[in-house]
Structure 1
Amino acid sequence: MVMGEAQLRERMQHPVIQERLVVTPLLSDAQVKGASIDVRLGTDFILMKRSAAGPIDPMAMRTGVLDYQERARVEVGEKMILHPNQLVLGVTLEFIQVPRDLMAYVIGRSSWGRLGLMVATAVMVSPGYRGSLTLELANLADTPVYLYPGTRVAQLVFHQVDGASSAYAGAGKYTGPVGPEFSKLSWDEDWQAIQRMQPEEM
């Protein structure tokens, strides 16, 4: 069941901190409306290096992540250009705390989508998540588009979780960030097994 505005506001004022939905700071009361909460684009970004040597190797990410990325900061009032077919990682201005009985989907705002901007290709926010949300921002249009930190770029739609949830409990790969985080695909246990199967280089 999708939570409506009244339910969202009630959970955001819940007296028990473990059951309270936290989305802060809210710069406008209008960010909570209908059945969603609007979130704004933060000031920190991760850009993929166009000069990276060779393809991205998910297995080498733990030690070679700086070979593929560089960080940038764009203050509120400034703008950053996103070129066609370019992917950058942004972050929400807001810090999110999701109770264990809720989960959320991140959905790009249609006003941005009509300009060719795809937001949050990884769309689920797990029960118990705490931190700012990394946003995958991709320009699918044929022309560049400017990104403005501080503007509403996506919305969170919350659902009640049926049954008990073990949640993140602080052990998730992306728990507690306050800035954008690069892929931690290499942290998956699957990669350790795959690595053992690879033939040794002569």
Structure 2
Amino acid sequence: MITNSKIRFNQHAFFSATLPVKISDAQIKRHINDQHVRQLKDVRCPLYLRFNASRTGGTWWFYRYEAGKQYPYRITKYPGTQAKDIMDVVSAVSVQIAKGKAIECNRFETVDQLVDWHVQRQYTLKRSTKERLNNLKSMAEPHVMSLFHGVAIMDIDHQKIDSALIQPMFEQGYSVSYVRANFFLLKTAFSIARRLKYITTNPLS
């Protein structure tokens, strides 16, 4: 028996919690505020960007499939690592997985966070003189941390260091040795963070 009752469709059924796309920064901006999309899946490889609850960023996940099972790896965060850089991270992570090494998510998202951690770590270790620690802090806060405040770790490279740190310091009259010391402070911070697996890749290596 056919009735005249209206059929109601669930409007949410037409939205996918996981959206397969070729992940790009443009695609992320297009979908990050769409509450119906929980995560983006890259069509090129088993890579996912899972948005956080506040929709301000998310976490990059890489999956390995073996013997019918899937193994998830949390590799880094967005926007700390942008879509334009994520494939470099995936390549590095794939090598680590193949070698059976543990995968860690980036502990830091920005350059100033990483440098601040490095300076505080030197104070905690107490392996340097008080004078050297004070010099380290006096370089980090007004120069390195200030100039690269909010800059994503994967956005830093030697060209940006030259234009944002080295050239401006020379123009302000700082000596060659002092400018070099600031550069090595930054490079050392990245090197130690990578060795301790607090970042997945070192863009300054």
TM-score range, shorter chain: under 0.3
Higher relative CO (Cα under 8 Å, sequence separation at least 6) belongs to: 1
**Which of the two has higher C-alpha Rg?**
2
Which structure has the highest helix share of the two? 2
TM-score normalized by structure 1?
0.25
